[in-house]
């Protein structure tokens, strides 16, 4: 009988546990910490969901499925996880990222609108346009609550029969002809399959794959005008060009989160994340706020850094080889897709294959370490 070990119960692992349990497949999750913690890739209050995907039109069918699964999880857990406030991409009309958003929308007939001038200023006063800029509005976008979402997926999985071994780091996963052995400080446990979903700790459990770990810093700014950035109305925004960042509504009323898009710092492991952030970085993000977000005061009231695992081409690793399924390195954009990735993991365990188009995520595709 099939039995699955899921190593890592962060975003992807907890969703995999939920989807495995929903199919009646016995599954045990292992985590160094516990679902919903903020030391990996899934902390920091909010994550963007969007469908007009500049990372490639091949994601759009997966995003549609992810959206339906977010709704299913909300219903199962009885809690709001995705707030569908819409989203905008803001930047120069001829910027490649603006073209990529429009190309994904065209390829899949998505309901996006290009706004300029008075229309943009009235609809989204939080993000004034500068000369030559446009705003592409994606109605099927919004923000997710990452910590509650991971807790909800794990709790729903447990209610459906999954087991979670909290505070139990996995030291090794060994595969042989009849199954896999999971080694922890408590001893060894046998399963027929293993799913490796260790987030930014991937380089440790998946040596040999070209995975790098990067630190991404979030900053929260107070509002000048309390009517702006309202959590039930203000869309999420991605600004491209110079400066580039993502920006969220004021979810808890205390601050508006801005993630500056600069080349993210490589670190050895999430254990190397520093609580302090260079003053130079804070100055850079304060300048970006001053230049483009007049509704905010430019000095942050909160700064926090998180880690994620990246591949050289920016697409994650999702696929099975033998009895081991790899689900890792989602390269800074995996949260929104976590429910469908979890369901694909369940396909791969159950049948060895999946009907979903995931060739761009194949762990054995040609991947070279970045120079």
Ligand X SMILES: Cc1cc2nc3c(=O)[nH]c(=O)nc-3n(C[C@H](O)[C@H](O)[C@H](O)COP(=O)(O)OP(=O)(O)OC[C@H]3O[C@@H](n4cnc5c(N)ncnc54)[C@H](O)[C@@H]3O)c2cc1C
Applying CB under 6 A, the residues found at the interface with ligand X are 7-13, 30-33, 40-42, 44, 47-48, 169-170, 197-201, 205, 216, 218, 259, 306, 308, 328, 330, 332-336
- Shortest distance (Å) from residue 57 CB to ligand X: 17
CA of residue 2 relative to chain centroid, distance: 29
Nearer to ligand X, 12 or 115 (CB): 12
User: Would you say 294 or 312 has its CB closer to ligand X?
Assistant: 312
The 10 Å Cβ neighbour count of residue 349 is 25
Question: Token digits for 33?
Answer: 């910490």
Residue nearest to ligand X (CB): 10
Least distance (Å) between residue 120 CB and ligand X: 22
Give the C-alpha separation, 342 to 18, whole Å: 8
Nearest CB to ligand X, comparing residues 121 and 261:
261
Q: Which bin fits 326, alpha (ψ -120 to 50), beta or left (φ > 0)?
A: beta
The region, left, alpha or beta by phi > 0 then psi within -120 to 50, assigned to residue 237 is: beta
State the Cα–Cα distance between residues 244 and 258, nearest whole angstrom: 10
Residue 118 CB, shortest distance to ligand X, in Å, is: 29
Nearer Cβ to ligand X (243/332):
332
Task: Find out whether 140 and 67 touch, Cβ atoms under 8 Å.
Answer: yes
Minimal distance, residue 218 CB to ligand X, in Å: 5
Nearer Cβ to ligand X (48/112) = 48
Rounded to whole angstroms, what are the CA distances from 17 to 32, 342, 363? 16, 7, 21
Closest to ligand X by CB, 102 vs 201, is 201
Output 293 or 345, the one with its CB closest to ligand X.
Answer: 345
86/334 with CB nearer ligand X: 334
CB of 261 to ligand X, least distance (A): 10
256's enclosing H/E stretch is strand 256-260
Rounded CA-CA distance 87/247 in Å is 10
Q: What minimum distance in Å lies between the beta carbon of 146 and ligand X?
A: 6
3-state secondary structure of 326: strand
Please, what is the minimum distance in Å from the beta carbon of residue 171 to ligand X? 7
Please report how close the Cβ of residue 122 comes to ligand X at its closest, in angstroms: 26
Beta pairing class for 87-92 and 133-138: antiparallel
Structure tokens at 285: 């993000």
* CA 184 – CA 14 distance, rounded (Å): 19
d(CA 365, CA 197) in angstroms, rounded, equals 18
Token pair recorded at residue 277: 């952030």
């Amino acid at each position: 009988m099939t039995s699955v070990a899921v190593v890592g119960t962060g975003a992807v692992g907890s969703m995999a546990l939920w989807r495995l349990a929903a199919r009646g497949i016995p599954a045990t999750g292992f985590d160094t910490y516990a679902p919903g913690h903020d030391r990996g890739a899934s902390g920091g209050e909010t994550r963007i969901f969007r469908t007009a995907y500049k990372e490639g039109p091949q994601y759009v069918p997966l995003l549609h499925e992810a959206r339906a699964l977010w709704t299913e999880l909300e219903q199962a857990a009885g809690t709001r996880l995705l707030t569908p406030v819409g989203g905008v991409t803001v930047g120069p009309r001829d910027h490649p990222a603006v073209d990529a958003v429009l190309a994904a929308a065209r390829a899949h007939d998505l309901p996006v609108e290009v706004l300029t001038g008075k229309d943009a200023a009235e609809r989204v006063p939080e993000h004034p346009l500068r000369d030559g800029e446009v705003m592409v509005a994606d109605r099927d976008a919004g923000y997710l609550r990452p910590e509650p979402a991971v807790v909800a997926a794990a709790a729903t999985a447990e209610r459906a029969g999954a087991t979670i071994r909290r505070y139990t780091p996995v030291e090794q996963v060994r595969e042989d002809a009849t199954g896999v052995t999971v080694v922890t400080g408590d001893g060894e446990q046998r399963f027929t399959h293993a799913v490796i979903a260790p987030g930014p700790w991937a380089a440790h459990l998946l040596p040999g794959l070209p995975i790098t770990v990067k630190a991404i810093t979030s900053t929260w700014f107070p509002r000048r005008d309390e009517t702006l950035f309202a959590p039930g109305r203000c869309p999420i925004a991605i600004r491209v060009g110079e400066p580039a960042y993502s920006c969220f509504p004021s979810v808890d009323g205390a601050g508006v989160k801005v993630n500056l898009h600069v080349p993210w710092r490589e670190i050895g492991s999430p254990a190397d994340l520093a609580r302090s952030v260079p003053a130079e970085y804070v100055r850079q993000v304060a300048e970006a706020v001053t230049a483009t977000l007049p509704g905010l005061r430019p000095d942050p009231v909160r700064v926090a850094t998180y880690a994620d695992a990246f591949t050289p081409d920016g697409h994650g690793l999702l696929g099975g080889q033998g009895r081991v399924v790899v689900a890792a390195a989602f390269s800074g954009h995996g949260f929104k897709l976590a429910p469908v990735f979890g369901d694909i993991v369940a396909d791969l365990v159950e049948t060895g294959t999946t009907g979903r188009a995931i060739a761009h995520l194949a762990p054995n595709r040609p991947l070279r370490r970045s120079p």
